[in-house]
Amino acid sequence: MKVVKFGGSSMADAGQYRKVRDILMADPERKVVVVSAAGKRYSGDHKLTDLLYLCYAHIQYGVDCSTIFDAIANRYIDIRNELGLALPIEVDLELLKHRIDAKEISQEELVSRGEYLSAKLMADYLGFQFIDAADWVKFNMDGTVNEEESYKALQSQVILGYGAVIPGFYGAMPDGTIHTFSRGGSDITGALAAAALDADVYENWTDVSGFLMADPRIVDDPQAIPEVTYDELRELSYSGAQVLHEDSIFPVREKNIPVNIRNTNDPAAPGTMIQEKFVGDHDPDRFITGITGKKDFSIISLSKRGMSNQVGVLRKVLTVLERHGISVDYVPNGIDNVSVVLPTSSIEKELYTIMAEIKKEAQPDTLDVHHQIAVVAAVGRKMAFRPGISGKIFAALGESGINIRMINQGPDELNIIFGVDNKDFKEAIRVLYNSFVTK
């Protein structure tokens, strides 16, 4: 049995609903469907969830939101009519409008209605059972999910062998009030449903054919990644790639359920498969899984003669940063020097205070800070088995005239991270991609 989740772009209009139906009908194992609110139909269009947030903002300021609400209602009525359905969705819409006018609805419940209405329509279209997320996604008082209670609740409601449609993004607090996940929370709902039902695969359908090896805004037509481990996914996400949020894969990773990222608009493409480990090798010649990065870092560097024989120098630096609530991303070091790499935005307001405190407590011989640094990461589980990869990477960058400002590599060699000037960020990614992927 497969649990399948469709994002906003897959729910944008009646044409997309038809694609979803065809995908489900093509595989009888796709029995449980999680859906998002209607997304953009075209560039310049609005996501329904954005309009619902805007509607609530109007309520807060005492401004009439009828025009916005009508746009929301018409989207769903149009989808219903174009699909030839008889679902009386006007009843839900009228009740919702009444509660908005009476200011009897919370922001979280209001913004969750996009998913709710999408799921009601999709369930009617498919002839599947509708299961309200509020009836099974159980939150604790602190906002975390009570997985044990949630799983039991869903298991008791899904009729085996009969399809079910579930709205994503929200659940219920212990007192029954609606509570939402952060934006993108439908991915979490899908993962929870897959884990609750011990699915064989969790398919996440979106508008791209899996994860790409590099940002298409930087590299022309980058290749898709056919397979990626959870560890690689975490490294890529941490280093800047726009991939699934860690919270959205934790429930399925716990149960070792594979995740398949697919494209609603290109259902024949295999997409990207994510799991703990892979047996065999999909592409034995490829040792880099993905190349990503982020700009606007700073490097605080200090040196001190005999540092290698002194205890606690790094601890003193980290203690100063901890005192100011600053998290460190990387800590490259040498015999008598150490550096910390961190987002510039985290230190710019208190930079001089932080530098003074480090100087006082660590008493370095030199203390410097360098701004306008970009961090680039080459991630791949097979890099550890390829001698000289670091040398090849740095040679390729050197030949292109890109100066390396920082190097950091973990002992498991899952990634090689280096810093360059912000101005060289895009070129560094292009050089790596062209040197190690297109050859």
At 147 the pLDDT is 96
Q: Identify the CATH number of the domain defined by range 290-436.
A: 3.30.2130.10
- How does the average pLDDT of the chain come out, rounded? 91
Distance CA 227, CA 118 (A): 31
Please return the burial class of 204, using the count of CB atoms within 10 Å of its CB with bins 0-12, 13-18 and 19+: buried
Q: Could you tell me the pLDDT band of residue 385, with boundaries at 50, 70 and 90? A: low
Question: What is the per-residue pLDDT across 12-47, written as a single tens digit (0 to 9) for each?
Answer: 999 999 999 999 999 999 999 999 999 999 999 999
Q: Measured between alpha carbons, how far is 37 from 35 in angstroms, rounded to an integer?
A: 7
- pLDDT band with cut points at 50, 70 and 90 for residue 388: confident
- Domain boundary assignment for the chain: 2-207, 290-436
What confidence tens digit (pLDDT) does each residue in 299-357 have?
999 998 888 788 888 999 999 999 999 999 989 888 888 999 999 999 999 999 999 99
Alpha carbon distance 77, 90 (integer Å)? 8
User: Around Cβ 41, how many Cβ atoms within 10 Å?
Assistant: 15
pLDDT band at residue 117 under the 50/70/90 scheme: very high
Residue 412 pLDDT > 70: no
For residue 67, pLDDT beyond 70: yes
Predicted local confidence at residue 54, as pLDDT: 96
**Per residue in 148-196, pLDDT tens?**
999 999 999 998 778 999 999 999 999 999 999 987 788 999 999 999 9
Fold of 2-207: Carbamate kinase (3.40.1160)
Could you tell me the pTM of the whole model? 0.84
Q: Same topology for domains 2-207 and 290-436, yes or no?
A: no
Q: Is the pLDDT of residue 274 over 80?
A: yes
d(CA 124, CA 126): 6
Percent of the chain with pLDDT strictly greater than 70: 95
